[in-house]
Structure 1
Amino acid sequence: MGRRITLMLLGLLLASGVVGCGDTTSGSPTTNTTTTTAKALFNPCTGISDDALRAAGVDPATEEAGIGGVHQSGWEICSWRGPKYFVTVFSTSRTVSEFERKPGNVEFEDVTVAGRQGRQFRVEGASKNLDCDVLFAASQGVVQLRVQNRAGQDNLENPCTVLYRVGDSIVPALPR
């Protein structure tokens, strides 16, 4: 029962981070007469090696694409479980600025993870002290690395401390 609640909580938290990032637009759409090709999104499920995942302390066999196994339009999402935390990588065409403007995203700061510049932030709410996120700008938009401690575990580390350690193996696999 505890595992089911934890998984449901994780799904809700991930959905709030993904779904709430969009902007509302009113009016009629305009037609663009120039043809542009959208850059394909990085797929973390296929783009991060099993060796990198094991080095990050998660089990590659626990891979879950999407949120609760459901694909999210405009996103590529993959998560894995470890004994005390989850690692999730989000890939989107959105920008860092869009994340910064989203209500509920707080405590932004510039950081370096595995030699790469990023923007660390937290999401307000009950899970604020359980998870840590870092955004990395990429040619496709943004790649986001999230570490979320497993609720109910004892002696949990600060999730941002864990993210930096996990990032040593995961970040080199992320697109620039």
Structure 2
Amino acid sequence: MRHAIALIVLSTSMLLAGCAVAVTGRATKEVPAELFDPCILPEDALRSVNVDPATAAADFLGVQSEGWELCRWRSDWYFLSIFTTDTTVEELRARPKNTDFQPVEVGRRDAVTFRSIYESEADLCDLTYPSAVGTVIIRISTRGTKEQLEDPCAVSIRTARALDSYIPA
């Protein structure tokens, strides 16, 4: 009799434990173990895309964001910012503030450029693609009162292609 009761208690415990680990809701996404740190890009590669390596900043005005790696450099009329994140390209597409997605090839990668609806004068352009070390975003944004000398999307495409070999596939 004791064995029967112990077996019932054990079976009930196992069922309850099984229920405790069952998860309902959204599926989780695969997150890279470590995001790519764009601040490690070689200085000669950065100079080749016309930014000053000495202006590197690994945050925005002293603020860092969890789940993102970023680095920003200054050129004569724009900032180059490179982000890696565990946010997927599909999630970026689904955000209502992102618009004007255009496909583009960067080496062997399929990428897209896009803009934010909050940029009233088209002074910013993002280019994004997935990689094994997170989603990569290459942003060109006009510096304050500087005159925009070229379409930021053209610069982001050219920059992505020039830096492609330094960013893990």
Instruction: Give TM-score, length-normalised by structure 1.
Output: 0.73
Q: 1:118 to 1:31 in 2, by over 3 A?
A: farther
Is residue 2:33 matched to residue 1:39?
yes
Q: 1:100 to 1:50 in 2, by over 3 A?
A: same
Aligned length: 144
Greater Rg over alpha carbons, structure: 2
Deviation at 1:117, TM superposition (A): 1.7
Is residue 2:87 matched to residue 1:117?
no
Partner-residue secondary structure (3-state), 1:63: strand
Partner-residue secondary structure (3-state), 1:172: helix
Aligned residues of 1:40 and 1:140 also touching (Cα < 8 A): yes
Deviation at 1:116, TM superposition (A): 2.9
Is residue 2:96 matched to residue 1:68?
no
Q: 1:57 to 1:114 in 2, by over 3 A?
A: farther
Inter-partner Cα distance in structure 2 for 1:31 and 1:84: 54
Q: 1:32 to 1:130 in 2, by over 3 A?
A: farther
Inter-partner Cα distance in structure 2 for 1:98 and 1:37: 14
Inter-partner Cα distance in structure 1 for 2:64 and 2:100: 29
Instruction: Give TM-score, length-normalised by structure 2.
Output: 0.76
The residue number in structure 1 matching 2:129 is: 136
Inter-partner Cα distance in structure 1 for 2:22 and 2:69: 26
Deviation track 1:42-63 (CA, whole Å, cap 9, x = no partner) reads 00012x1111100010000000
Deviation track 1:147-168 (CA, whole Å, cap 9, x = no partner) reads 1122322352111111122223
Flag as ranges the 4+ runs of structure 1 deviating above 6 A.
none
Partner-residue secondary structure (3-state), 2:122: coil
Inter-partner Cα distance in structure 2 for 1:38 and 1:105: 24
Is residue 2:103 matched to residue 1:104?
no
Q: 1:132 to 1:37 in 2, by over 3 A?
A: closer
Unaligned runs of 5+ in 1: 1-29
The amino acid that maps onto 2:80 is V
The amino acid that maps onto 1:52 is A
Inter-partner Cα distance in structure 2 for 1:130 and 1:157: 10
Deviation track 1:14-59 (CA, whole Å, cap 9, x = no partner) reads xxxxxxxxxxxxxxxx8689xx98510100012x111110001000
CA RMSD, aligned part only?
2.3
The amino acid that maps onto 2:91 is E
**What is the 5 A alignment of 1:1-176?**
38-46=32-40, 48-127=41-120, 129-154=122-147, 156-176=149-169
